[in-house]
Amino acid sequence: MNNSAGFTLAELVVTVVLVGILAAAAIPTFNNVMVSAQLQINKSNMESIKNAFVRYYFVTQNDPPPVPENHLLDSEYKDLVLPDGRTPDNLFNGKDGLPYNSNGDPYSYYQENDTSSTGFVSRTIIIKDMNTDSPSYEEYVIGGI
């Protein structure tokens, strides 16, 4: 009587090969989903910053928050005191304040002013991701005031 309770070497090899094939197919798909999710999160964060800066302008009737010299919305910029006494960090209701991109790096902030022939000044706020390692590198959002 043959009383074996284990697996043969051939069965184990076939199982390992099948698991390897499944993993090889699943890992690139998972990575693509992660990059796509990070891209959408970054775009959403840039929209949130733009909307907060536009809302600040309309609520306070002050100029939009000033553009830092290095154009980065970093930890130094978060603590800048605005004319109404708040900081850029206070413009966000969430506990984390001014959002960073999915790599933990700050977004860039630009502002363009255009004066019409009648003297009306229109302002454009641009929030851009300049981190070359970010899935949203060189993506940007624009808000007009």
Dihedral, CA atoms, 60, 62, 64, 65, nearest 10 degrees? -90
pLDDT: which is higher, 106 or 95 = 106
**Which pLDDT score is estimated for 15?**
93
Q: Are strands 140-144 and 108-115 parallel, antiparallel or unpaired?
A: unpaired
Dihedral, CA atoms, 52, 49, 139, 121, nearest 10 degrees? 40
Q: Which domains does the chain have, with CATH numbers?
A: 9-144 (3.30.700)
Instruction: Confirm if 48 and 92 have CB atoms less than 8 A apart.
Output: yes
When pLDDT is averaged across residues 70-75 and rounded to a whole number, the result is: 90
Q: Provide DSSP, 7-69.
A: --HHHHHHHHHHHHHHHHHHHHHHHHHHHHHHHHHHHHHHHHHHHHHHHHHHHH-SPPPPPPT
Confidence of residue 19 (pLDDT cuts 50, 70, 90): very high
pLDDT digits (tens, 9 = 90+) for 110-144: 999 888 899 888 889 999 999 999 999 989 898 88
pLDDT digits (tens, 9 = 90+) for 35-69: 999 999 999 999 999 998 888 888 888 788 888 89
**Which pLDDT score is estimated for 1?**
55
SS3 for 145?
coil
**Which pLDDT score is estimated for 95?**
61
**Which pLDDT score is estimated for 122?**
86
On whether the pTM is more than 0.85, the answer is: no
